[in-house]
Structure 1
Amino acid sequence: MTTAPFAAYAPHTTPGIAAATTDLTKVYGSGDTRVVALDGVSTSFREGEFTAIMGPSGCGKSTLMHCAAGLDSPTSGTVRIGTTDLGTLDDRRLTRLRRDRIGFVFQAFNLVPTLTALENITLPLSIAGRRPDPQWLDRVVAMAGLSQRLDHRPAQLSGGQQQRVAVARALASQPAIVFGDEPTGNLDSRAGAEILGFLRDSVRELGRTVVMVTHDPVAAGYADRVLFLSDGRLVDEMSHPTADRVLDVMKAFDSRARTS
């Protein structure tokens, strides 16, 4: 671990940044119902790196991901994808940026049941009126282990295979960054390990950038680094994580919650 638990957090400034947030704040409600989900979060996600975001329930990790991905608007602060400030984009340009430069993987597979695996993978490109790069598509499909499943519909696939289709769909447009919100949450441990290995390989072999929200220390152990949130603030970071080291930090969160 690079800092002691709950120490003041200093964001990275390394060049080659796929996405970054500066003084990001997100507030819901007002008066007695006011909730500060994010409280001045500044961080960056480096190109070609797999980052996991962790913290106790309600700490703001999904809110951070949704704001960083342009799915939600911050109350204040800035979000950049590459050099593009999302706050300067109107709805049409923001939609185009999300479509062309960002991939998404969620806990629910969100596949169209009447389409084949290949049709699901290429659906966003088809909607955008674009053809996939055949060499890239072949590489993604092969890495996902789906070469013999492309004609199958979702009901003919296991849960792990369906999520591999969802990850391949996120990668098919060659996005600058892929965001995953609990992507293994609906899978058993074996299928989850397959998806995490696929995400890690997409970083190491395809040069993608992946940011994943998870509550699972084992899942976080697949990442290159882990960011820890508490009460809407980034409080710690770990490079080269292992499941045991991540679990120790999460236990520290639990201990602090019991004594506060």
Structure 2
Amino acid sequence: METPVAARAEEVWKVYGKAEAQVTALRGVSASFGRGRFTAIMGPSGSGKSTLMHCLAGLDTVTRGTVHIGGTEVTGLNDKALTRLRRDRVGFIFQQFNLLPTLTAAENIRLPLDIAGKKPDPQWWDTVIETVGLSDRLSHRPAQLSGGQQQRVACARALMSRPDVIFADEPTGNLDSKSGAEVLAFLRDSVREHGQTIVMVTHDPVAASYTDRVVFLADGSIVHELANPTPETVLEAMKSGEVLV
């Protein structure tokens, strides 16, 4: 049986600017991201990896091609429908955490649900808080938390609405190796134990080794894929001519 698809791009092109200032960031990219899978997107600077993630997440429009989240075509949605889709069906984790400093950890985690006028499912709340290990930090504000704890708050916030897919943009980029490993282990566990779908942009072979699959981009095109990656096999692929970073 084929794995259901949580997100997919079909022949996606993304072109910025015009005439001499024109830059082609994506060149006919087609990729599917299976439900309940953890995928890394890698490539050198300027390869299009962040652009692809932004197009998949509905944060940026495509020049040509289509993008789907589950059975919904994202391309062509009006602003209101796009806002609703991003709020209800997509989760985001960023390098900079993006927490509101005046809110406690618990309030930051609940924020997307509060905006949507929803209440968290008590059982799911307990599961997520236990998984991220923050039960004794819920009343703390971001300034009272370490970088790793702040990112785990951001992870819990992304998970709380049970989105179709979570997009993570360099989620360990601002963390030390120990905190980064804790966040990556949590993301991997949320996939394996709770069936979450995660697509992560990273430049780090160790971070990529936590995933099920790595998609390599170069010059706006997919040039290689790697299943069940290890740091060594990712490094080997990165050192090859096509995906040299």
> How well do the aligned residues superpose, as a CA RMSD in angstroms?
1.4
2:125 corresponds in structure 1 to 137
- Matching residue's letter, 2:62: P
- Matching residue's letter, 1:55: G
2:184 corresponds in structure 1 to 196
- Matching residue's letter, 1:78: T
What stretches of structure 1 of length at least 5 have no aligned partner?
Answer: 1-12
Asked whether 1:224 is paired with 2:208, we answer no
Listed as ranges, the matches of 1:66-215 within 5 Å are 66-215=54-203
Give the number of equivalent residue pairs.
245
Query: Matched residue of 1:88: which SS?
Result: coil
8 A Cα contact 1:28 1:34, kept in partner: yes
CA distance in 2, matches of 1:129, 1:19: 26
- Matching residue's letter, 1:206: H
8 A Cα contact 1:25 1:37, kept in partner: yes
8 A Cα contact 1:184 1:192, kept in partner: yes
- Matching residue's letter, 1:93: A
What TM-score does the superposition give when structure 1 sets the normalisation length? Answer: 0.92
**Percent identity for Structure 1 against Structure 2:** 64
- Matching residue's letter, 1:241: P
What TM-score does the superposition give when structure 2 sets the normalisation length? Answer: 0.97
1:5 corresponds in structure 2 to none
8 A Cα contact 1:56 1:253, kept in partner: no
1:88 to partner: Cα distance: 3.3
Task: Compare 16-25 and 85-94 and name the one that shifted more.
Answer: 85-94
Asked whether 1:62 is paired with 2:50, we answer yes
1:24 corresponds in structure 2 to 12
1:79 to partner: Cα distance: 0.2
Question: Which of residues 43, 47, 51 is equivalent to 2:35?
Answer: 47
- Matching residue's letter, 1:60: G
CA distance in 1, matches of 2:135, 2:206: 28
CA distance in 2, matches of 1:70, 1:256: 28
Question: Which of residues 205, 227, 232 is equivalent to 1:244?
Answer: 232
Query: Matched residue of 1:89: which SS?
Result: coil
1:158 to partner: Cα distance: 0.3
Query: Matched residue of 1:87: which SS?
Result: coil
**Residues 88 and 28 of structure 1, relative CA distance in 2, 3 Å threshold:** closer
What stretches of structure 2 of length at least 5 have no aligned partner?
Answer: none
CA distance in 2, matches of 1:126, 1:201: 26
**Residues 227 and 113 of structure 1, relative CA distance in 2, 3 Å threshold:** same
CA distance in 1, matches of 2:74, 2:141: 36
Query: Matched residue of 2:75: which SS?
Result: helix
CA distance in 2, matches of 1:214, 1:253: 19
Q: Which deviations, in whole Å up to 9, do the C-alpha atoms of 1:196-253 show, x marking residues without a partner?
A: 0010001001110000000000000000000000100001100000011101111114
